[in-house]
Amino acid sequence: MKILLLLLLPLLLFGAKAMVNLEIDRGQRLFVSQKFTAQLKVYTTAFSISDLDVDFGKNSDFIIIAPSSAAYLNSEEIGDETYQYSVYEYELYPLKSGGISLKPFTVSFNTSAGYGQPKEHFELKTSQKELFVAAPKGVDGFILATDKLSIKTSFSSKEKHFKIGDAIVWKIRITAFNLPDVLIPKLTFPQIEGLKLYEDESRLSQTKKEHNFISQRVQSATYVLNRDGNYTLPSLALEWYNIRSKKIERTYSKSYSFEVVGSMKQDTKSEEEKSGKSELVTAFTVVALFLLVLFLLLQWNKRRDKSKYALVKRINPE
């Protein structure tokens, strides 16, 4: 008990100390849109750390993903004091190539000197890190780097002829491996004169399959057909870097061509004309059948009269 009190005495008299440090292994090759790891170490002379909150601020040149697993603990002698520290591993994905800065970010947390003791709050900043991010030859800026990428295209109809007022839904599914879904670029659906574009929000997803991390972006748009003519929903291209072959590749969506004919008003009129013609043909047919039946009746009556007259003549020759 006395030993514990002796250990607690400096904390009770002077309070806990704390500091933070962000470490990046300089042996890692930093490549645009490829993951590298940064270790955030939070030190304190207190017994425990809680309520950690990290504000990444204006680090818009990176996608930063917080650790999914708990931090691990260690201790270190610094000067004449023993510090406990927690290590948090963050994944960073550069969005630019060349020389860029990882700006300081704020780390806030509470420390505790033990059960029943008041907590102390700290709000500290990391130091700025200057980094150089490589890119494929000829690329200045961002390019998606992955070992596999595919684009699947679907349309709500495969017809080649449509009427004004009809609609076509165009869906594109982009799949990439081993990177976050937010990194997959958004393709731009074209504005086409004569067609009205209504675009839906992209849907992003990430799944783990065996040893692969699979990400998808699904985009869809509806085109309402407002004018007659021949149209093509064009093929869209996505440029990316194949980290296996070390080549820049282009993957394309499928195109779709079709024709829009007539108008809703003209179609209604056409249907009415067809209906009128059909009724006229029906009436003509009925009249023709009536006349044919009448003619057949007259012929039958005439023959019957002749037969009757012939019979009378045979009975009464004079």
- Retrieve residue 308's tokens: 């009757």
Count, in order, helices (H) and strands (E) of the chain. 2, 21
- Retrieve residue 284's tokens: 């003509």
Distance between CA 176 and CA 249 in Å, rounded? 13
Is the model's pLDDT at 295 over the cut of 50?
Answer: yes
- My answer on whether 92 and 164 are in the same domain is no
pLDDT-wise least confident of 83-87, 131-135, 230-234: 83-87
CATH number of the CATH domain containing 6: 2.60.40
Asked if residue 54 is part of any domain, the answer here is yes
Average pLDDT, the chain: 85
Asked if residue 310 is part of any domain, the answer here is no
- My answer on whether 50 and 117 are in the same domain is yes
Asked if residue 87 is part of any domain, the answer here is yes
- My answer on whether 125 and 161 are in the same domain is no
Buried b (16+ CB within 10 A) or exposed e, 103-114: bbbebebbbbbe
State which residues form the domain around 36: 2-133
State residue 156 phi and psi, 5-degree precision.
-70, -15
Confidence of residue 317 (pLDDT cuts 50, 70, 90): low
* Domain edge (last residue) among 133, 156, 179: 133
> What pTM value is reported for the model?
0.71
CB-based contacts of 168, cutoff 8 Å, min separation 6 = 155, 156, 157, 162, 222, 223, 225, 233, 256, 258
Asked if residue 296 is part of any domain, the answer here is no
pLDDT digits (tens, 9 = 90+) for 110-136: 998 777 678 899 999 999 999 999 999
- My answer on whether 223 and 124 are in the same domain is no
Separation of CA 7 from chain center: 56
Share of the chain above pLDDT 90, in %: 62
- Retrieve residue 242's tokens: 């194949």
Is the model's pLDDT at 306 over the cut of 70?
Answer: no
Asked if residue 305 is part of any domain, the answer here is no
Which residues share a beta bridge with 196? 224
pLDDT of residue 205: 96
- My answer on whether 43 and 155 are in the same domain is no
Asked if residue 138 is part of any domain, the answer here is no
- My answer on whether 83 and 45 are in the same domain is yes
Confidence of residue 2 (pLDDT cuts 50, 70, 90): very low
pLDDT of residue 68: 77
* Domain edge (last residue) among 108, 133, 158: 133
Asked if residue 47 is part of any domain, the answer here is yes
* Domain edge (last residue) among 245, 262, 279: 262
- Retrieve residue 248's tokens: 């820049």
- The CB density around residue 217, as the number of other CB atoms within 10 Å, is 21
pLDDT digits (tens, 9 = 90+) for 189-228: 999 999 999 999 999 999 987 777 899 999 999 999 999 9
Give the residue among 210, 211, 212, 180 at the shortest CA–CA distance from 91: 180
Asked if 89 contacts 67 with a C-beta cutoff of 8 angstroms, the reply is yes
DSSP state of 118: P
User: What one-character-per-residue DSSP string does 30-51 give?
Assistant: PBTT--EEEEEEEEESSSEEEE
How many folded domains does the chain comprise? 2
Distance between CA 171 and CA 116 in Å, rounded? 59
CB-based contacts of 196, cutoff 8 Å, min separation 6 = 223, 224, 226
The secondary structure element, H or E, covering residue 233 is strand 229-233
Asked if residue 256 is part of any domain, the answer here is yes
